[in-house]
Amino acid sequence: MKSIFSVIPQVIFAMVLTAVASATASSNENNEAARIRQAMELYAQATPMGQFDTRRAELLSQAQSILLDVIENNPASLDAHRKLMGVYLQMRDYPNAIKTMQAAITLSPEDPKLFIALAILYDHQGAYEYALPILEQALLLDPGNQLASDYKISIQQKIESQNLAMESSTPAHEMASPHSVDDHSSR
């Protein structure tokens, strides 16, 4: 039979391992949060600059690199995904912003705000037909979400306007040349 004194070192060792693991996890979380803050500081510096300012592009690229690194080390970091989407939005890199939001949605499929953000990205690309079902999903998750409801109406209006414009335009081959009437009358 083991004496209590031989068990105590094992218990203490287990407690120390638990404490070290907790400290490491806490340290990793603190490091991740610090890196995300660093990226957001770069983002904040870049935001007021002109769209074609090379310094702005450098700052956004640095923020992008930091956030991609955070995501590589912790693919489940929803905060990093959200922030990276914002960086891509500032860069007007809509395809990567969309991919980032889709990844965020897989991490948190019950968050209607992520669906609204994705719909905004589709709207920026003029892909209204994709934005509409995304907003409908947001409303399924949160039927009282006024932003999603209002935005859905706006997207529906854009689709209707687009459809009317397409219906009212005459195909180029059916259009008469500006002088065709005069040409026929002079013969």
What does the alpha-carbon distance between residue 143 and residue 137 come to, in Å, rounded to a whole number?
9
Tens-level pLDDT at each residue, the chain (187 residues): 455 444 454 545 444 444 444 444 456 678 999 999 999 999 999 999 999 999 999 999 999 999 999 999 999 999 999 999 999 999 999 999 999 999 999 999 999 999 999 999 999 999 999 999 999 999 999 999 999 999 999 999 999 998 888 888 755 555 444 444 444 444 4
Look up tokens 């949060």; give the residue.
33
Domain ranges of the chain: 35-100, 109-167
DSSP secondary-structure letter at 74? -
- Residue pair 55/49 in contact by the 8 Å Cβ criterion: yes
Report the pLDDT value the prediction gives residue 179, as an integer from 0 to 100: 45
Q: Which residue do the tokens 């990205």 mark? A: 121
Give the per-residue pLDDT at 170: 56
Pairwise CA distance, residues 60 & 79, whole Å? 17
Cβ neighbours of residue 108 under 8 Å, at least 6 residues apart? 78, 114
Write the DSSP symbol of residue 142.
Answer: -
How many residues make up the chain in this entry? 187
CA distances to 116, 148, 153, 160, 187 from 136, rounded to whole Å, are 9, 8, 11, 17, 60
Instruction: Identify the DSSP state of 170.
Output: P
The C-alpha atoms of residue 15 and residue 100 are separated, in whole angstroms, by 39
